Amino acid sequence: MTEQWRLLQTGFKNAYSNMAIDKAILVANSEGKVPPTVRFYGWDPAAISIGYFQSLVEEVDIQACERFGIDYVRRITGGGAVFHEKELTYSVVVPESHPEMPRNIMQSYARICGAVMRGLHQLGIESEYAPINDIVTAGRKISGNAQTRKLQTVLQHGTVLMDVDVNTMFSLLKVPNEKMKDKLIADVEQRVTSMRHILGKEIRFNEVARAMKIGFEEEFHVELNEGKLRKEELNLAKQFEKESFSTRQWNFRR
Amino acid sequence: MQSHSIYKVPQGKLLKISLEYDEKKNVITDICITGDFFAYPEEAIELLETKLKNITLGRKQLLEKISSIIAEYHIQFIGVNAESFTEGILMCKP
């Protein structure tokens, strides 16, 4: 019988809640309370997430975020700053010992990115993995990914860009040199793409989620069954949100 | 003396270092390492920062110290390595 994993569709939530839920799933899975889990989600309000090792004040224009009502949050994963707006975000939580999950970190990035690439293929978009942690289509980034390993468990989350607004993004991120800002925006616009850009039309979140579900099922040879967060996970998520992700202490720690 | 550096690691990530050092003794007094790299486990970065205090600001000393911390604590860095940390730290010196 095909192995059954859990699929969570948690809708659109704020940044603290989104990051807290990913961590809660990791903890619950590490304790054997829930099966390997794939989650699809979005962000409301739009938000900036920064990598675990980044400095919030160096990367993010806090005042601009507050003016535009944009959340900001530090992730538990490394990597760079991301503006989450028109995208599908996925997370996947699997024990390190799972036979389908390479022990080697770079290989496991490639494998999980493989699921996203298969999902994109379902939508008629061909892409390739661009190490360390990107997926590109025709040489332009369409997905960024970040992985952590804690409690013998792999958590990887990443974005799949449905549409992209580089101008808005750079009104929220700090740039090293204000004078070079226009050139930087032009450069990034050349290096980033989105489903809308490739397909020439808007695409719905649910359509992307359907495609990504197939991508994960094919890549990991599993069946994804739609489920819910367990009560314990919801409690853990609330705790993580309150104790870390929504606090200044966590977000400004570097 | 306080100083900063930004170093784009070849084939890697962006490394930003804030350094406080004793000019007379040529040793690190405080260091904060930030950037868009990856480390497994993540908490290793705080350990590295702590262990680099009072280390001499020389290429050989830094490289040896950082390599030995990475080996001893089984840290895996992606997008940065002992050489890039060393380079970023030395870039803080005029």
Stated as kind and residue range, the H or E segment containing A208 is helix A205-220
Instruction: Show the tokens assigned to B67.
Output: 């390599």
Taking any CB pair shorter than 8 Å as contact, residues of chain B touching chain A are 6, 12-14, 16, 32-42, 45, 76, 78-79
Inform me whether the pLDDT recorded for A192 exceeds 90.
yes
The minimal CB distance from A58 to the residues B34, B37, B45 is found for B34
Q: What is the value of pTM for the model shown?
A: 0.96
Closest CA to A4 of A224, A234, A246: A224
Phi/psi-derived region of residue A79, left when phi > 0, alpha when psi is between -120 and 50, beta in every other case? left
**Which of A53, A79, A132 shows the shortest C-beta gap to B34?**
A53
pLDDT value at position A179? Answer: 84
Give the pLDDT band (50/70/90) at residue A201: very high
Give B57 to chain A, closest Cα distance, Å.
23
- A22 band by pLDDT with thresholds 50, 70 and 90: very high
**CATH code for position B41:** 3.30.390.50
Q: How far apart are CA A17 and CA A245, in angstroms?
A: 8
Per-residue confidence (pLDDT) for residue B75, from 0 to 100: 97
Asked whether A19 and A239 are in contact (CB, 8 A), the reply is no
pLDDT tens, A210-237? 999 999 999 999 999 999 999 999 999 9
Look up residue A86 and give its DSSP letter.
S
Q: Do A55 and B6 touch (CB under 8 A)?
A: no
Task: Name B16's bridge partners.
Answer: B6, B34
Domain enclosing residue B32, as ranges: 2-90
- Report pLDDT for A180: 86
Calculate how close chain A gets to B78, using CA atoms only, in Å: 8
Cα distances (angstroms) measured from residue B35 to each of A4, A65, A124, A218: 37, 21, 35, 34
pLDDT band at A176 (very low <50, low <70, confident <90, very high): confident
**For chain A, how many structural domains are there in total?**
1
Q: Who's near A204: CB < 8 A, 6+ residues apart?
A: none
Question: Hey, are the CB atoms on A53 and B36 less than 8 Å from each other?
Answer: yes
Among A78, A80, A81, whose Cβ lies nearest the Cβ of B42? A78
Blockwise average pLDDT, block size 10, chain B, 94 residues? 95 96 97 98 96 97 98 97 98 90
Residues of chain B neighbouring A180 (CB-CB closer than 8 A): none
- Mean pLDDT over residues A37-41, rounded? 98
Chain A interface, mutation test: which of B30, B34, B80, most A Cβ atoms within 10 Å? B34
CATH number, domain with residue A39? 3.30.930.10
| Per-residue pLDDT tens over the stretch A43-83 | 999 999 999 999 999 999 999 999 999 999 999 999 999 99
Question: Each residue of A105-152: pLDDT tens digit?
Answer: 999 999 999 999 999 999 999 999 999 999 999 999 999 999 999 999
* pLDDT for position A177: 80
Query: Is A36 buried (19+), middle (13-18) or exposed (0-12) by CB count in 10 A?
Result: buried
Per-residue model confidence (pLDDT) at position A1: 86
Give the A:B interface size as CB pairs under 8 Å.
58
Chain B residues close to A132, C-beta within 8 Å: 12-13, 38, 78-79
H helices present in A31-160, as ranges? 56-59, 62-68, 105-122
- In total, how many domains does chain B have? 1
Return the residue in B15, B17, B30, B42 with the most chain A beta carbons within 10 A, the one to mutate for interface testing.
Answer: B42
Side-by-side strand order, sheet with A3-13: A128-130, A134-137, A140-150, A153-161, A87-95, A37-43, A3-13, A222-226
Q: What average pLDDT does the structure give for chain A?
A: 97
Checking if the pLDDT of A190 tops 90, the result is yes
Which residue range is the domain that position A198 belongs to?
3-251
Nearest CA to A214 out of A106, A114, A136 is that of A114
pLDDT higher than 90, residue A172: yes
Helix (H, G, I), strand (E, B) or coil at A144: strand
- What pLDDT does residue B22 have? 96
Provide the shortest C-alpha distance from residue B25 to chain A (in Å): 27
Question: What ipTM does the predicted assembly reach?
Answer: 0.95
